[in-house]
Structure 1
């Protein structure tokens, strides 16, 4: 095993730019009970670089039996970890945070290799993800109980807030670092133990985080990482949902998968945190600063090549400024975006994550074009760059019969619609079963308060396209999920409230 890792590191050393050769956190085993282990079946699956589909590493393909071992391990570790003091958990999280800051460049290199995003974006994600550990290291010491006023004189009433138990964390490929730290930071702060199931597309970042957690001093069994291929993923997810020793499930991903997990958790009445799909409206009113709206649109739409759940998905621009906005947006796309291998200097955006993603985006665009959409730029794959690159695209003249009209695109495609009134655009913006994030631009203070209240979403960006931070409550309404991550509310999914009544006291 040691030889295999060294050979892999040697290969990466000679295939990355000189200043990005810090790959010593690369692991090719799962992490269970403080040990780096293979699958019980000895099966592995490849993790590929989406830039050119070359294999970066092969990791264990864990099955249901392996998952049960991880859950049992976490349940055993919970017996002692749940009794630690808030100060002890805070110190562990702070140690983990400090190590992540120290190894930020190492983590960014691994993230870029397996996800495809540029190093600039990877560094930003690492900094963002690290901030959750810093935040929850501090929040751990603010998990307080409550003294209640008794209705009778010889009783004392109080509330305890105690860790729920084993937490299963299922995380996506688009933010493989931040989605783990946002969930695990909160769970560990509360005193829960964790079984992490990262996406089959990006398990290497999760394993690097486990390596640093081990160095930070977390006891064996407190944090476990299962790696699974597409073949075993559904069965492993089902086991995490139905195993009674798992008391809370936190998932980030599509609404369809979230609904399936919701049903599977019903048999054991688990606590649930679901951060699901979005279809974010991006509204530009006639009073807006158009240049600011365009600048923010670049970040909100094209971050991670459009593969973010809070990405601007449906643009609505008031008719008075429609042509100006479109012209400036197209110019910025052509000038600012440089596609390519994210590990190379100057590259701003990478490929899509996998072929199914590219095919989905391409089919949506082709359908729109065939039905009369106007293409201002892009509109097709870029096979000369690599198998998964898609040109940054801007479409107008969208009609309701087009598949792209009201669908989450999850790719570098901006769809811009024209509107005439505030009432009309709010009706269109809210005409979707999901409600994660929404954005609008206006200089009218009365309109700002009206629209912010009327948008049916969990998060609103006003004159701002990037809204996520550790201090904010992240989550949606309607079919975009349950619960909130980050902020002081992020620990709530991992805590039970216990009411204690002490009676017959002598006064």
Structure 2
């Protein structure tokens, strides 16, 4: 099915562009905005509010004020809100898929898969909300009883990455809702629109004002730094780069703040001498090219036995060459653009370094257009300095 320009415009017009603070969509206190671009063309999709320190403080005020009443909400009620959110996301699956494709670039087929995957976190935790159980037992001396009761930790700061805009948001928001915690969500500035649409869906599902607050910003450190220092914040959950995660952990350590970190990745793909070469190549393409290779689990290094290295490279290059690099909205697109110029330049730098050190470029590496952030997927034979048997 071809996606028309009118369909894209209609969807973008339906997405909130403000900050969600205490149940209201507001402009930034400074009045500032920033642009969200289509990575396949470099064109601006929409301009949205750009949160500053004052907006972050207002979001924390709202989360802290709502915490006590939200924690007292019956687990069944919290579960029902999540169930309604699951149904609403599922009903609007095409909207979420197209929006992710527009702002992140992934082909629609992959975006639809993420919607289904991301929605399942809502369904799962809708059922887990009523299973937050404690423990009752006799003390070892037999004279007393021990009661363990689990309670919400309190306001949480949730920071999501750009590569899976919906799934990473639902994976953090759903358990917080189920447990009875309020939240301040800081989505990635490259792909904030999906989070804004999802926040709107959570409102429609009945989530009370102040429970979920969304502060997209182009100056993440300036906004999140004061939040981490705020004594009312009880937990931080971050998915992103190792370098940023390390910095956040240092800040959190000063406050002895509960932290959940999912950081980086540099996964090797190892092919032994006795491997089924065709199956290995199929697995390698899937491991490398899922989500345009922009995933922490993507294969970044291929370690292949010397005796089959050339055959593997030829077969792998043939598969890579057969992929259709196109805007994610195109019906036959199998590989979309990289997220931005920095990512594109990084790929070119890796290829250039490999070739300079003796690798042979087998296929790929060509750039689409002057403004696009995509290259055709490159493949090179192993550099002599890294070759091993």
RMSD (Å), alpha carbons: 2.0
Alignment of 1:294-333 (within 5 A): 294-333=281-320
Residue 160 of structure 2 is matched in structure 1 by 171
Alignment of 1:28-39 (within 5 A): 28-39=17-28
Residue 345 of structure 1 is matched in structure 2 by 331
How far apart are 1:316 and its partner, in Å? 1.4
C-alpha distance in 1 between matches for 2:121 and 2:196: 18
| Structure 2: runs of 5 or more not aligned | none
How far apart are 1:153 and its partner, in Å? 2.7
The verdict on how the C-alpha distance between 1:322 and 1:14 changes in structure 2, with shifts beyond 3 A counting, is closer
Cα offsets for 1:89-113 (capped at 9, x unmatched): 1111111111000001001111111
The verdict on how the C-alpha distance between 1:385 and 1:333 changes in structure 2, with shifts beyond 3 A counting, is farther
Indicate which of 349, 355, 367 corresponds to 1:369: 355
3-state SS in 2 of match to 1:246:
coil
Residue 9 of structure 1 is matched in structure 2 by none
Residue 184 of structure 2 is matched in structure 1 by 195
| Structure 1: runs of 5 or more not aligned | 1-12, 401-416, 421-507
Residue 170 of structure 2 is matched in structure 1 by 181
| Larger strand proportion of the pair | 1
The verdict on how the C-alpha distance between 1:23 and 1:57 changes in structure 2, with shifts beyond 3 A counting, is closer
Indicate which of 55, 63, 68 corresponds to 1:66: 55
How far apart are 1:332 and its partner, in Å? 1.0
3-state SS in 2 of match to 1:321:
helix
Contact 2:3-2:329 within 8 A present in 1 as well: no
C-alpha distance in 2 between matches for 1:399 and 1:60: 50
Residue 393 of structure 1 is matched in structure 2 by 378
Indicate which of 249, 263, 268 corresponds to 2:255: 268
TM-score (norm 1): 0.73
C-alpha distance in 1 between matches for 2:171 and 2:279: 29
C-alpha distance in 1 between matches for 2:79 and 2:384: 53
| Larger helix proportion of the pair | 2
C-alpha distance in 2 between matches for 1:300 and 1:240: 37
Alignment of 1:413-424 (within 5 A): 419-420=388-389
Residue 450 of structure 1 is matched in structure 2 by none
Q: How many equivalent residue pairs?
A: 388
Indicate which of 43, 46, 55 corresponds to 2:35: 46
Residue 105 of structure 2 is matched in structure 1 by 116
How far apart are 1:288 and its partner, in Å? 2.9
Residue 238 of structure 2 is matched in structure 1 by 251
3-state SS in 1 of match to 2:268:
strand
3-state SS in 2 of match to 1:195:
strand
Contact 1:20-1:105 within 8 A present in 2 as well: no
Pairing 1:354–2:343 present: no
How far apart are 1:24 and its partner, in Å? 5.8
TM-score (norm 2): 0.95
Contact 2:288-2:298 within 8 A present in 1 as well: yes
